[in-house]
Structure 1
Amino acid sequence: MSLIDNLARLEATTTGRARPRATVRHRHLSERPLVFVPLTTAGEAGAPLGALIGTERTSPRLLTVPQPRDRDLRFAFLARLAEILLPYVESYEGDVEAAERTEADPETGKRVKVEVELCADAPQLIVPSRAGVEFVRLLGRSMRFRRTAEQDPDAPYPAPPRVPLLGRWLTHFGERSRVPGSSLLLAMTDLLSRHWATGQSSLEEQHLGALLAWIEAPEGVSGADAALRAELARDTDGQLLCPPAGPATDPAFDNQLLAPAIERYDRARTALAAAADGVEADGLLASLAAAEREIDALVESRTRPTWDAVWRGLDALCTLPEAPHAIDRWRGDRWSFTGHRDRVAAGEPPQPRVDDAVTAANKLGTREREQARLDAQEALDDPLVMAGRRLAGEAFAGEVTDVVMAYSEGRSPRPRPVVTVRTGDRPHLDAGVRVYRSLEGKPQAAQFVTYDADGGVVLRLLDKMGRAKEAEPGSVPEVGDRLCWTLFEHEQRGGPRLPDPEDTPWTHGGPPEGAVSVGAPGERPDPVTSEDLL
């Protein structure tokens, strides 16, 4: 956490109001996001109790499981969830545009550009909190390997037809959420805490109601008092006025309301199964329907406040202009969505339970690069974020006081002008360190030379000045220009090339099962002999 963030938290604590941590919105928001507010049974993370889901603020779809321990009812819940979520996802698959991508030529191995399809937009799933993101991943893991009756007629508990496909998509959303800067699956608490600072800890900010209380606190009411009321205030029946953002439920709700309602449902279902004739069954069927409606009302009473809170959070975020680089990161999400769409259409198997060594290393390298890229882009897009980097000595801003044209040595001299920048910042500069500035959206590099007599920073420009002997107009700063230079790179380089999965060395688990060709020298271990045993 930067010094600017700490100062914002201290100011929020002093004034009782949330303070901005950003001047722009650093995440892309879809025009038609799908909001998903799940609820789970206490003590059973994989047993859904219900959910509110939809793209319309005023008309969410309510899904419930009257008896979460019943496998058939859970499958029915997942089937209804698939009926809502999969059409939403598939509505983005058909609208495509032409795009170029660099791929290896299968014959020569050289990198060439090929024209491929790219989805013009992608779906976006928004959940209340970070726990909701983990629940999405858990649901995906529990569903993607299920077998349907069509796939396996002998399966003891076949899943509804579209449930495995739903699991694959939820797994993709969950995996993509681990990539820094991705916006396919977002937690509203993380979005709000990224753009506003409060007087709470990061753990306390996972309560959506308390976080919004800081941001929306009315005049004359402290944010801390409003957040405390959101967390603890109860009605005359002992129920929370602002239920937690889920998917967990409040113990008082479980013990006083939910457990008796489920027990009444179980009794009604048991009595219906033991009915002696049709007349008696009709009366018991009405009792069962009433018990189901009671559970529906209870689930909606716990999820509707959180549903409204998510949309209020979207309203607050939409007051900020979108950061310039956010749309570039969204393009990466579109590539990810398009790739998974193509894998599903090609009939590839579901994502494995455990990644092989090469895939895991690629994922880790990608996330590290994307984190560095996100940090750099947020600083370039937002003066408030850049101020934190300047205070940390990772950037400096100042006025150009002198420009001396110089040239490189050699047969074809190139412009290497020396620029002096007067700054009040204290960057961590050593001889030969490279610094960067944004020139028409591209990073221009310079090398630190020395400090002048007045403490100004002397830099030598290195690139982005054209190939001619004279520098291109606008590529060299002029006296009086005020510039911001960073010690971090604006674009991240690719990592080292990793071997193919079938060439995984034995130090990392060896190649996957069945990937080694018979007789390949040096790939298989020596056979075990009697001398190997004590």
Structure 2
Amino acid sequence: MSLISTLARLEAVSSGRAQPAATVRHRRLSDRPLVLVPLTTAGEAGAPLGALVGTDRDAPHLLVVAQPRDRDLRFAFLSELADVVLPYLDGYAESVEAAERTETDPETGKRVKVEVELCADAPQLIVPSRAGVEFLRLLGRSMRFRRTAEQDPETPYPAPPRLPLLGRWLTHFAERARVPGASLLPAVTDLLARHWASGQSTLEDQHLGALLAWIDPPEGVTGAEAALRAELDRDAEGQLLCPPAGPATDPAFDNRLLAPAIERYDRARTALAAAEDGLEADDRLGALTAAEREIRALVESRTRPTWDAVWRGLDLLRALPEGAHVEERWTRDRWSFTAHRDRVLAGEPPQPRRDDAVTAANKLAAREREQARLEAQEALDDPLVMAGRRLSGEAFAGEVTDVVMAYSEGKRPSPRPLVTVRTDDRPYLGERARVYRSLGGRPQAAEFVGYEDEGALVVLRIVDKMGRGKEPEVGSVPEKGDPVCFTLFEHEQRGGAKLPDPEDTPWTHGGPPGEAAAPEPDPVTAEDLL
């Protein structure tokens, strides 16, 4: 945690209200997101109990599994979920635009630009908390390898036709959620915690009701008091007034309400199966319908408060202006969505259970690169974030007090102006260290020359982005009196070393993918006892 984040949390405790941690919104919010509030069964990982899902704030779809241990009812739930999610995804997959992409020519080996299709926009799935992202990852893993009756007529438990496709999409969204700055599958608690600093721990911030209580507490109540009520207050039946943000349920709800309701549902199903005549069956069917309706009401009572809280959190986030680099990161999300759409249409197999060594290393390198890029872009977009980097000695801001024109030595001298900046910051600058400032959206590099006036003045030599002429282009060199901000970190991240192709992976790192050839048996000799 940075110093400025710690200060913001201390100020939140002192003032009784969450403090802004950003002045702009650093994540993309779709105009039409698909909100999903899942609920799971206690004691059985990945067993869904119900969900509220939809794009309409006032009319969500309620999906319920009346008996989570029943495989057929689980498949019916997942099939209903696919009927809601997949048409939403298809709506974005059909609208495309022309875009250019750099690829390697297989014949010449040179990098060339080719025109390809890019989805004009991308879908966005929003869940209440980080646990919801992990639950969708688990659902995707459990569904993408399911065999349908069309694929394998002899499979013992065929899945509905659209389930494997939904599993592949959920797996892709969950994998993309691991990329820093990606917005295809955000958790509202993470979005709010990024833009506001509460007076509680980061673990407590995963309770959506408590976090909203810190950000927007009721009149006359501090954030700490409102958060405590959100976490602990119960009604006359002992049920939480603000249920957890899912997907786990409260033990009091499980023991006092849900378990008896499921038991009544099981008894009604057993009685209906044992009915001997039509009249008796009608009566018992009515009892089964009533038991199922009771479970639906219980699930809705646990998910609807969280559903409303998610939309309330989105309202708070939409009030912030979008950061300058958010659109660039969203474009990379669009490329990711388009690439997976193309893989599905091409009939490629689902994502493997485990990545091979090269794929895993590439993913790790990409996430590290995106993390560094995200941190740089957030600082450039947001003065409050940049203030944190200045406090840590990774950037400095000030006013230009002097500009002296100088030139490099050589046959063709190039402009290398010396710029003196007065600053109150204390950056960690070493000899000939490189610093950068944003010039028209591009990073301009400068070289540290030295300090003057006991460190209050920093002398820099501008080294690029001044044009090709003997004199610098207008606006490429700061003038006396201009405010400037230089960073010690690079604004654009460089690519790492190229990894070998999967088929060239050495055996020390997993070897080529696929099954290894069986070793040849030892030759039989006369001494062998058979």
1:282-361 aligned at under 5 Å gives the runs 282-361=282-361
Structure 1 partner of 2:470: 469
Structure 2 partner of 1:223: 223
1:86-235 aligned at under 5 Å gives the runs 86-235=86-235
- Distance of 1:59 and 1:529 partners within structure 2: 73
1:454 Cα deviation after fit: 5.3
Structure 2 partner of 1:510: 511
- Distance of 2:441 and 2:164 partners within structure 1: 43
- Distance of 2:503 and 2:48 partners within structure 1: 39
Q: Do structure 1's residue 496 and structure 2's residue 460 form an aligned pair? A: no
- Distance of 1:233 and 1:338 partners within structure 2: 46
Q: Do structure 1's residue 482 and structure 2's residue 483 form an aligned pair? A: yes
Asked if the contact 1:96–1:117 (Cα under 8 Å) also holds between the matched residues in 2, the reply is: yes
- Distance of 1:528 and 1:10 partners within structure 2: 72
Deviations 1:191-231 (A, max 9, x none): 00100011100111110000001111123211100000000
Structure 2 partner of 1:380: 380
1:470 Cα deviation after fit: 1.1
Deviations 1:291-337 (A, max 9, x none): 11000000000000000000000000011000010111000000000
1:514 Cα deviation after fit: 5.8
* TM value normalised by structure 1: 0.96
- Distance of 2:519 and 2:498 partners within structure 1: 26
Structure 1 partner of 2:426: 426
1:361 Cα deviation after fit: 0.4
Deviations 1:8-48 (A, max 9, x none): 10010011011100000000000000000000000112100
- Distance of 1:314 and 1:367 partners within structure 2: 26
Task: Report the AA paired with residue 466 of structure 1.
Answer: G
- Distance of 2:449 and 2:521 partners within structure 1: 62
Moved over 4 A (4+): 524-530
Q: Which runs of 5+ in 1 are unaligned?
A: 517-523
- Distance of 1:529 and 1:120 partners within structure 2: 63
Q: Do structure 1's residue 238 and structure 2's residue 219 form an aligned pair? A: no
Which stretch shows the higher mean deviation, 404-413 or 422-431? 404-413
- Distance of 1:257 and 1:60 partners within structure 2: 23
1:25-44 aligned at under 5 Å gives the runs 25-44=25-44
Deviations 1:407-443 (A, max 9, x none): 1112221111111111000000011110000000000
Asked if the contact 1:397–1:484 (Cα under 8 Å) also holds between the matched residues in 2, the reply is: yes
Task: Report the AA paired with residue 173 of structure 1.
Answer: F
Structure 2 partner of 1:269: 269
Over the matched positions of the two proteins, sequence identity in percent amounts to 79
Task: Report the AA paired with residue 509 of structure 2.
Answer: H
Asked if the contact 1:48–1:74 (Cα under 8 Å) also holds between the matched residues in 2, the reply is: yes
Task: Report the AA paired with residue 495 of structure 2.
Answer: G
Structure 2 partner of 1:280: 280
Q: CA RMSD in A?
A: 1.4
- Distance of 2:481 and 2:328 partners within structure 1: 32
- Distance of 2:332 and 2:306 partners within structure 1: 30
Deviations 1:335-361 (A, max 9, x none): 000000000000000000000000000
- Distance of 1:27 and 1:483 partners within structure 2: 26
* TM value normalised by structure 2: 0.97
1:452 Cα deviation after fit: 2.0
Which stretch shows the higher mean deviation, 216-225 or 305-314? 216-225
1:525 Cα deviation after fit: 9.5
SS of 2:142 mapped into structure 1: helix
Task: Report the AA paired with residue 172 of structure 1.
Answer: H
Task: Report the AA paired with residue 492 of structure 1.
Answer: Q
Task: Report the AA paired with residue 424 of structure 1.
Answer: D
1:169 Cα deviation after fit: 0.1
Structure 2 partner of 1:459: 460
Task: Report the AA paired with residue 14 of structure 2.
Answer: T
Task: Report the AA paired with residue 493 of structure 1.
Answer: R
- Distance of 1:268 and 1:38 partners within structure 2: 26
- Distance of 2:516 and 2:381 partners within structure 1: 46
Deviations 1:376-412 (A, max 9, x none): 0000000000000000000000111111111111222
Asked if the contact 1:435–1:485 (Cα under 8 Å) also holds between the matched residues in 2, the reply is: yes
Which stretch shows the higher mean deviation, 9-18 or 274-283? 274-283
- Distance of 2:190 and 2:483 partners within structure 1: 34
- Distance of 1:102 and 1:413 partners within structure 2: 35
- Distance of 1:372 and 1:484 partners within structure 2: 19
SS of 1:51 mapped into structure 2: strand
1:453 Cα deviation after fit: 3.5
SS of 2:411 mapped into structure 1: coil
- Distance of 1:213 and 1:527 partners within structure 2: 69
1:493 Cα deviation after fit: 0.3
SS of 2:113 mapped into structure 1: strand
Deviations 1:47-94 (A, max 9, x none): 000000000000000000000000000000000000000000010011
Task: Report the AA paired with residue 228 of structure 2.
Answer: L
Q: Which runs of 5+ in 2 are unaligned?
A: 525-530
Task: Report the AA paired with residue 367 of structure 1.
Answer: R
Structure 2 partner of 1:521: none
Asked if the contact 1:103–1:111 (Cα under 8 Å) also holds between the matched residues in 2, the reply is: yes
- Distance of 2:418 and 2:15 partners within structure 1: 47
Asked if the contact 1:398–1:421 (Cα under 8 Å) also holds between the matched residues in 2, the reply is: yes
SS of 1:91 mapped into structure 2: helix
Deviations 1:110-139 (A, max 9, x none): 111111111010000000000000001000
Structure 1 partner of 2:527: none
- Distance of 2:453 and 2:30 partners within structure 1: 53
Asked if the contact 1:98–1:115 (Cα under 8 Å) also holds between the matched residues in 2, the reply is: yes
Deviations 1:258-302 (A, max 9, x none): 000000000000111111111111111111111110000000000
- Distance of 1:492 and 1:527 partners within structure 2: 52
- Distance of 2:323 and 2:420 partners within structure 1: 30
Cα 1:525/1:369, change in 2 over 3 Å: farther
Structure 2 partner of 1:519: none
1:150 Cα deviation after fit: 0.4
Structure 2 partner of 1:58: 58
Asked if the contact 1:502–1:515 (Cα under 8 Å) also holds between the matched residues in 2, the reply is: no
